[in-house]
Amino acid sequence: MELILYSAFWCPDCRVARRFLRQNNVPYKEIDIEITPGAAEEVIRRTGKRSIPQFVIDGEWIQPYSPGEGFLYEKMAKRLGIQQSSK
């Protein structure tokens, strides 16, 4: 499985996503939209919105959080095949 995390250094939801991935030993590549030319435009083009964090799992774009709900721990654990997620 290949996972890419589109994020930004200032984004608190991105910090939660990174922590979730690290705690569950999920390898990922991170693309910071602030320093990677064209990355922010790619997020908009693929999702139709300016919204990070974004996961790209084997080419499929997935928003790992929901406004008002926060990070979708259970949904992401299931999608990534993680037995137990931790907050």
Tell me how many domains the chain contains. 1
Query: Along the 87 residues of the chain, how does pLDDT read in single tens digits?
Result: 999 999 999 999 999 999 999 999 999 999 999 999 999 999 999 999 989 999 999 999 999 999 889 999 999 999 999 986 445
CB 16 within 8 A of CB 86: no
Residue from 69, 61, 81, 73 nearest 19 by CA: 73
71 belongs to a structural domain: yes
52 belongs to a structural domain: yes
Q: For residue 65, give its domain range.
A: 3-80
47 belongs to a structural domain: yes
Alpha helices for the chain (secondary structure H): 12-23, 39-47, 73-80
7 belongs to a structural domain: yes
87 belongs to a structural domain: no
